[in-house]
Amino acid sequence: MNARPSQSLEQRVNWIDICALEEIPRLGARVFARATGNIAIFRNADDEVFALDDRCPHRGGPLSQGIVFGRHVACPLHNWQIGLWDGKATAPDVGCTAVYAVHVDAGRVYLDLTPTDA
Amino acid sequence: MQRARLVVIGNGMAGIKTVEELVKIAPDLYGITVFGAEPQPNYNRILLSPVLAGEQTFDEIVLNDRGWYATHGIHLHTGKEVTSIDRKRRTVTAADGTYADYDRLLIATGSTPFILPIPGIDLEGVIGYRDIADTERMIAAAQNHRHAVVIGGGLLGLEAANGLNARGMDVTVLHLMDTLMERQLDAVAGRLLQTALEARGIRFIMGANTAAIRGDEHGHVSAVALADDTELAAELVVMAVGIRPNTHLAESAGLRCARGIVVNDTLQTFDPRIYAVGECVNHRGTAYGLVAPLFEMARVAANHLAEFGTQRYSGSVTATKLKVTGIDLYSAGDFHGDDSSETIVLSDAANGVYKKLVIKDERLQGSVLYGDTTDGAWYFRLMREGRSIADIRGRLMFGERNLGDTGHLGQSQAASMADSMEVCGCNGVSKGTICAAIKTHKLITLDEVRKHTKASASCGSCTGLVEQILMATAGADYSATPRTKPLCVCTERTHAEVKQAIKAQHLLTIADTQRFLEWRTPNGCATCRPALNYYLQTTWPREAQDDPQSRYINERAHANIQKDGTFSVIPRMWGGTTSAHELRKIADVVDKYQIPTVKVTGGQRIDLLGVKKADLPGVWRDLDMPSGHAYAKALRTVKTCVGAEWCRFGVQDSTQLGIDLERALWRMYAPHKVKIAVSGCPRNCAESGIKDVGIIGVESGWEIYVAGNGGIKTEVAQFFAKVTHAAEVLEHAGAFLQLYREEGHYLERTVHFVGRAGLDYCKAQVVSDAANRRALYSRLRFAVDGELDPWTARANGAAAHEYASVTA
Ligand code: SRM
Ligand SMILES: Cc1cc2nc3c(=O)[nH]c(=O)nc-3n(C[C@H](O)[C@H](O)[C@H](O)COP(=O)(O)OP(=O)(O)OC[C@H]3O[C@@H](n4cnc5c(N)ncnc54)[C@H](O)[C@@H]3O)c2cc1C
Ligand code: SF4
Ligand code: FES
């Protein structure tokens, strides 16, 4: 349940090993820095891992800095609640941020940078 | 899996509100069937009066059209009155034979108009005022007839009279009592109301005892006879003398009823499969006749039907507003008062304004407002919250606007505001946006308006205004928020209950607290987690675990996040003083890390803005100055003036006292930020009058003021104590702040804390009780002395993962 790719895991070839699961705090996030915009890697209480563009659909707040709860993160700037699995803002707010596939294997976190069309 | 079956009897306001709440929180739990005796879908009964008066149409007052039922897969039977409930076989059957089986049953049959037991009530043209059919009959009568008699001068009777009058009928109201609406109004307001309605052409006969209704040869009403033999011509008689809970169905099913179906705090009847809500219910001896309490019931019933089981209904305080266009009338609570209460009355006959407030033990008990109801919602809030009004008593009568609300240009007359005017300054929400949201989404509670528009969701200073707009737009005051607010959506518990449990159970972690208090969500949300973390820290200092993931980013990173994701750094400058050495270090750091902006803050220190997160530990290492906690719910600045050391007016050494206070109290976390100022004389150049703790030097010592606030809504600090020595200032200020730390709700500033707890209470705890003051102060010392400077720790490598990104 860790990745929500549109293709099956095996079909994906672009997995990048980014860090150990333990390097992401539970109910927290780490930033994967990238020239074209950071990606936020989240870990929730059930050790599910998610990856989103580190930009809130509202005014670009860094989601990695927010408070993680359940399968959501609250943006640090104006408290929009973004779904970690689909990148969508919780109603009544409207907006969506890009989602990336991640999976955890033997304690390592792998990221695929092709955005999913989830 | 077969879904459980829920059957609802009564397609009215309370029943369908319950269903709405239920499908929101547990959309898939039940297959739902609704029976409604009326042929229409669910509509807003409150707004029948504007329909009668010709101000709205029926379509405009429909709450849920048939499409809504279809969308949620709800089976709707309209025009079918349920005539029996078989509790053994768990089946309900309607008059036409339609039946449905249930696993849970919800009875919401409302009430029926009480019809006087006098001759002639069966004549054609004699009606009650309850539903759209009655309303349509009145409208039809107004087209064909001239004389109407309304029996009963209460809320319903007067709204009926006004509507019929507006439709051109000659209306006489018969009222048994001497003044109108005696259950909601005192005699003065009742008479003002009567005069205003008389001016519209409505006639009143007070003390009128109706004896009989007479008819013509076609069996149609023709006159009303009074006990004193007066006869009044009437082709329409509206009976509005009261309502009776509609319980005969429940009674015939053997459910216990006593002036309403008897329910417990979870809205269950004596048969636990059967719930009941609305006007048909008797809860703790009260049957309610207004929508606000019924909606509270609906929420609780939905919570239990959804099998959450976390809410309780414990009764409601109610307020009434008359919906007669052009007449402003508002009443709430006990407005008569008794020997032990006091009243404040304002009567401005020339302007048609009358206000009466009843106060007992420094709390507002009730109010009657006539002519100017602007502050109704505010008084209602004060009443519900049971807030001590001692500190605002002198200005109470003049309304919320006159408490010093400069934020909104004194604008709080919701009705007279233009649509483009801004209501919520924090989120930039205009009146038009709020009205549109209320109309489109059929919003009825303050919480819903907050969710949809964000209005009043931030600082809350416009709450009263939003409530008024809601009232004006939705048609009536049914926006009542629950009396005691739960901490957040994850729980039913209030702040006080949570704190109590943490203390009594010696809870030390957020997870344990959530488990013990049966949180609804697996790990809380961004509202409750920071609050729980704070309560754990202050209740069990040096013992409870801090959870960085439950701190807002500023407190987790120990710097203030900026709109572009960079951070700002504000080091301590004790009492606003600095030195060449510190300034040089700051200059070097600015150069080395290419910090774009350096600014002097409003708090007498220097802000380095636009620091990259990864640079923070380095900046702190090079600065080698302690954290200013400008990002934290903690002691912020202690502003000072130059004082006796230099100033020609100074009588006390305010700078030194400020430095001492700051050194003693820094690292003190609190429910919200805490700001202190010390001035050397009453000229008060450090602005001590708008600080959480403000100190002013006088010839003979120091005056201490508390609970000022210079922010969203400027509040002048109140006099707290006068002491002689600087050491006493420290103990008093520290003890007051410890009281706030222990008893304040998270995110409540001192002004709101003192408003809730009462200034006298705080004085009794701190000023007059020396032993308690020392105990408070020593608890503060224990907590604060256990905190380290967070910057030093991080400069030395603590929490490094917070500042570094991962790389492939
Ligand atoms: C830096 C500073 C403005 C400046 O450039 O001078 C400032 C900046 C902010 N203030 Fe302030 N306030 C600053 C002095 C004040 C003052 C004046 C004072 O302290 O003497 C006030 C009024 C006094 C008071 O608090 O009673 C003040 C009343 C507020 C409020 C309203 C608080 C209230 O209870 O009404 C907020 C909002 C809040 O805290 O929720 C706020 C919030 C903020 C925040 C933290 C907004 C935020 O949450 O991000 C601003 C951070 C800007 C940033 O991006 O870094 N700031 N703010 C001042 C820092 C003082 C310091 O040295 O620590
Ligand atoms: C003209 C008017 C103005 C009002 N103004 C205000 C106001 O300003 N503020 C305020 O707070 N309140 C006001 N009220 C009161 C408010 O409308 C009621 O408190 C509220 O509607 C009660 O909700 P309920 O669900 O308990 O009953 P209802 O809304 O009456 O719903 C009960 C429904 O059950 C149906 N029913 C009954 N028995 C059966 C059965 N055996 N089988 C199937 N269906 C059945 C009824 O036909 C009815 O549709 C007003 C009421 C009226 C009539
Ligand atoms: S610094 Fe204070 S006043 Fe200025 S914009 Fe920010 S919050 Fe508003
Ligand atoms: S930028 Fe995320 S909520 Fe505003």
Q: Which amino acid is residue B437, in one-letter code?
A: A
To the nearest whole Å, the CA of A87 is away from the closest chain B CA by: 17
Angle between helices B446-453 and B463-474 (to 10 degrees): 100
Query: What is the per-residue pLDDT for A116?
Result: 66
The least confident of A21-30, A42-51, B100-109, B476-485 is B476-485
Strands A67-69 and A72-74: antiparallel
Query: What is the per-residue pLDDT for A117?
Result: 53
Q: Report the nearest-CA residue for atom 38 of ligand 2.
A: B109
Q: Is the ipTM of this complex over 0.95?
A: no
Regions in chain B scoring below 50 on pLDDT: 404-412, 477-483
Q: How far apart (Å, rounded) are the C-alpha atoms in residues B282 and B151? A: 26
Q: Which amino acid is residue A17, in one-letter code?
A: D
The more confidently predicted of residues B409 and A6 is A6
Query: What is the per-residue pLDDT for B608?
Result: 98
Q: Do B808 and A16 touch (CB under 8 A)?
A: yes
Q: Which amino acid is residue B636, in one-letter code?
A: R
Average pLDDT score over chain B: 90
Cβ neighbors of B223 (< 8 A, separation 6 or more) are B213, B214, B231, B232, B233, B234
Cα B668 to Cα B540, B552, B637, B753, B783, distances in angstroms: 14, 17, 12, 17, 8
Cα angle for residues B136, B279, B67 (degrees, 5° grid): 60
Cα A6 to Cα A10, B422, B491, B518, distances in angstroms: 11, 44, 36, 37
Query: What is the per-residue pLDDT for B327?
Result: 82
Q: Which amino acid is residue B329, in one-letter code?
A: L
Query: What is the per-residue pLDDT for B410?
Result: 33
Query: What is the per-residue pLDDT for A8?
Result: 54
Cα B382 to Cα A78, B334, B428, B804, distances in angstroms: 29, 14, 26, 48
Mutation site, B527, B549, B555, B567, interface A, largest A CB count within 10 A: B549
Chain A hits for B529, CB-CB cut-off 8 Å, are: 67, 69
User: Taking CB atoms and a 6 Å cutoff, what residues make up the pocket around ligand 4?
Assistant: A 56, 58-61, 75, 77-80
Q: Do A19 and B806 touch (CB under 8 A)?
A: yes
Query: What is the per-residue pLDDT for A9?
Result: 56
Query: What is the per-residue pLDDT for B290?
Result: 86
Query: What is the per-residue pLDDT for B479?
Result: 44
Which of B523, B552, B807 has its CB closest to that of A27?
B523
The more confidently predicted of residues B410 and A75 is A75
Closest-approaching ligand to the CA atom of B454: 4
Query: What is the per-residue pLDDT for B281?
Result: 96
A-B contacts at Cβ under 8 angstroms: 79
> By the 8 A CB rule, do B307 and B6 touch?
no
Query: What is the per-residue pLDDT for A10?
Result: 56
Q: Report the nearest-CA residue for atom 53 of ligand 1.
A: B562
Q: Report the nearest-CA residue for atom 19 of ligand 2.
A: B290
Nearest C-alpha neighbor of A41 from the set B522, B559, B529, B805: B805
Where in chain A are the domains? 9-115
- A9-115 belongs to which CATH class? mainly beta
Q: Which residues face B281 on adjacent strands?
A: B261
Query: What is the per-residue pLDDT for B472?
Result: 73
Q: Where are the alpha helices (DSSP H) in B226-375?
A: 248-252, 291-305
Which of A17, A45, A76 has its CB closest to that of B553?
A76
Cβ neighbors of B793 (< 8 A, separation 6 or more) are B799
Query: What is the per-residue pLDDT for B475?
Result: 59
Residue of A nearest to B520 (CA): A70
Residues of chain B numbered 403-462 and touching chain A (CB < 8 Å): 451-453
Instruction: Please identify, by atom number, the ligand 1 atom nearest to the C-alpha of residue B749.
Output: 34
B563 interfacial to chain A (CB closer than 8 Å): yes
Query: What is the per-residue pLDDT for B480?
Result: 47
Structure tokens at B562: 């900026």
Q: Report the nearest-CA residue for atom 50 of ligand 1.
A: B560
